[in-house]
Structure 1
Amino acid sequence: MTTHTPPTPEPPPHIAVLGAGHTGPALAKVLTEAGYPVSIAASGDPEKIALIMSFLAPDAKPRWAADAIEEADVVILALPLHRFADLDPARFAGKIVIDTMNYWPPTDGVQALFDNPSLGSSEIVQAHLPGATIVKTLNHIGYHELDESRRPAGSPRRRSLGVAGDDPAAAALTAAILDRVGYDTVTLPTLAAGRALQPGGPVFGADLTRDRFDQEVSS
């Protein structure tokens, strides 16, 4: 009789969320509830966010930003866009980086780094973090919707999110994370295609199922 030892399941990736304003804690909450180990960092001492995080996302660990990035398999950028230029590109080398940020001049003001209409904002992020692999998603859903819009797999009204990236493996990992959180996904084949997810794009802020979402970004 031949016996087979079942493969040991791979542990979920460790995720670092950079940004502790509105979006960061909302992401940390849904990610930890989906079973992911999550650290969260603001721009300074983690003790300054420890109390509020104990209420908003009690299972996420406040960390210094440098430590959170170093320990993570996946880093999520959920910080104000004007703080992006302060990041040290060297710290992100070899990391999968999920960009949830938006460039929106009416609210953020004109920012020279991102004020290039020939490029999507995540393409600019990639250019400034050349050692990282950038994936664009989660920028087209409101932080206040992240919790309430989750649905189990197979639900007829399960909301879909776009995932755009040049690296298929990084995009697939990101899609798997979102699926576990409670969302269907539509993968866009390049980071440039992620411009459809930005403010003014056809799916920005839209609550769509996968088929409708796919139709909108493909038209």
Structure 2
Amino acid sequence: MLSNSRGPETLATLVGELGPLARAATVDEAIAAGDLVAIPLPLANYESLPAGKLDGKVVIDQTNYYPEASDFHSAVLDSGELTSSELIQRHLPEAKVVKAFHNLDWHHLSFNARPEGHPERTTLPVAGDDPAAKQLVKRFMEAVGYDVVDAGSLAESWRIEPDTPIYFWPYAPAIPDGLTPDEEKRYYLEHIGEPVSREQARELIDKAERPSPIGGSLAGLPPAHVAIFLELASGATFRR
């Protein structure tokens, strides 16, 4: 069940692409229906989340802190007092927040998924404070195409935030030399990175050092992704 701030009717095309098991709803309807509620929204909008309505829900936090790309700055994030997921948890005190599905882009989240046992199946991290909630999200991630490694608590989730070794780059394809900018973007959309094993994911998490300053930057992302992001922001559409 999908929802957004603009209303169910604006999701008709996407629902049609996803098939007969998908449907659009209001935000309140989606929250009420979901055992898992994913929030792939800009972190700057986190206070718009209806805290009371999410009480008791397992909330998949897909937000990332990018102060460079928005007008949103947070002293508690900049100082390292809280991680972005802890900030979400503080806003949703009665929900069970789990950090997941945040460290690769919207396109590769679906494009990289592979069945269990497939040689190209890759591994994503998860972090959270509630063991049962984290296990539920882990099972969901495995069901939709990913192996999973536990990155610890929400306080430790800085290890999987922007500008850390497991963020974005391992899941992006290496772009060959000699391509035009348009060819680079197309190649990026049509290929995946090398699969990351559980052991490799654990190593990437363990060797992380907390970035300084805290928060991601466009310079820390694959150039082809940045180019696509900027064109989408201007109203362009990409299909693979």
Tell me, yes or no, whether TM beats 0.5: yes
Residue 110 of structure 2 aligns to a residue in which SS? coil
Point out the more displaced range, 136-145 or 200-209.
Answer: 200-209
Give yes or no for the alignment of 1:94 onto 2:59.
Answer: no
Which residue of the other structure, out of 1, 6, 9, is the alignment partner of 1:47?
A: 9
Q: Residues 215, 115 of structure 1: CA spacing in aligned structure 2 closer, same or farther, 3 A cutoff?
A: closer
Aligned partners of 1:52 and 1:184: how far apart in 2? 26
- C-alpha RMSD of the superposition: 1.8
After TM superposition, the structure 1 = structure 2 runs for residues 1-219 of structure 1, keeping only pairs within 5 Å, are 39-55=1-17, 59-112=21-74, 115-118=77-80, 119-205=82-168, 206-207=170-171, 208-219=196-207
Aligned partners of 1:204 and 1:65: how far apart in 2? 29
Q: Which amino acid aligns with 1:53?
A: V
Residue 41 of structure 1 aligns to a residue in which SS? coil
Higher strand share: 1
Q: Residues 114, 138 of structure 1: CA spacing in aligned structure 2 closer, same or farther, 3 A cutoff?
A: farther
Aligned partners of 2:128 and 2:54: how far apart in 1? 16
Q: Residues 110, 83 of structure 1: CA spacing in aligned structure 2 closer, same or farther, 3 A cutoff?
A: closer
Q: 1:110-163 CA deviation, whole Å, 9 max, x = no partner? A: 333764432110010000000100000111011110222112212333210001
* Structure 2 residues not aligned, in runs of 5+: 172-195, 208-240
The percentage of counterpart residues that share the same residue type is: 34
Residue 40 of structure 1 aligns to a residue in which SS? coil
Q: Residues 105, 58 of structure 1: CA spacing in aligned structure 2 closer, same or farther, 3 A cutoff?
A: farther
Task: List, as ranges, runs of 4+ consecutive aligned residues in structure 1 with deviation greater than 4 Å.
Answer: none
Q: 1:5-40 CA deviation, whole Å, 9 max, x = no partner? A: xxxxxxxxxxxxxxxxxxxxxxxxxxxxxxxxxx11
The answer to whether the 8 Å contact 2:127/2:152 transfers is: yes
Q: Residues 153, 51 of structure 1: CA spacing in aligned structure 2 closer, same or farther, 3 A cutoff?
A: closer
Q: Residues 200, 117 of structure 1: CA spacing in aligned structure 2 closer, same or farther, 3 A cutoff?
A: farther
The answer to whether the 8 Å contact 2:128/2:153 transfers is: yes
1:97 offset after TM fit, Å? 0.2
Q: 1:60-87 CA deviation, whole Å, 9 max, x = no partner? A: 2110001110121110001222222112
Aligned partners of 1:148 and 1:209: how far apart in 2? 17
Q: Residues 83, 175 of structure 1: CA spacing in aligned structure 2 closer, same or farther, 3 A cutoff?
A: same
Counterpart residue number, 1:3: none
The answer to whether the 8 Å contact 2:43/2:65 transfers is: yes
The answer to whether the 8 Å contact 1:114/1:121 transfers is: no
Point out the more displaced range, 88-97 or 113-122.
Answer: 113-122
Aligned partners of 2:125 and 2:13: how far apart in 1? 33
Count of aligned pairs? 181
